[in-house]
Amino acid sequence: MPLTLCPECNNRVSDSAQACPYCGHVLRDKVVFIKPEKSGWLAALLSLFIPGAGHLYKGHVISAILWFLLVGSGYVILFLPGLISHGLCILLAGIARTK
Ligand SMILES: [Zn+2]
């Protein structure tokens, strides 16, 4: 059983111990689950076909709805604003952090 030093009292304790048996110092913090980051390329690809789908894929529901409405209305009003906002939507879906 490998030993490690307690950072609080410098006694040798098992590295599998949750807390130091000498001073009670907590050696292991609570387990933190980190969600895996979703693919930026897939999010961008989804937004290419359906504006906002990439944001939805990354868990940003409100952003997904807003992007869908913005890009959709941009295409309906004039082609260029739709194209610009669609490009921005794809870019931002790709770089957005997973929620
Ligand atoms: Zn200790």
CB within 8 Å of 78: residues ≥ 6 apart: none
Q: What is the Å distance from ligand 1's center to 52 Cα?
A: 52
Q: What is the Å distance from ligand 1's center to 18 Cα?
A: 11
CB within 8 Å of 20: residues ≥ 6 apart: 6, 8, 9, 11, 13, 27
pLDDT in tens, 58-85: 888 998 999 888 888 888 888 787 888 8
Q: What is the Å distance from ligand 1's center to 31 Cα?
A: 20
pLDDT in tens, 13-59: 988 888 899 999 988 765 556 677 888 888 888 988 889 888 899 88
Q: Which residues surround ligand 1, an ion (CB under 5 A)?
A: 6, 8-9, 20, 22-23, 25
Locus of tokens 């689950």: 33
Locus of tokens 């690809």: 45
Biggest CA pair distance of the chain: 72
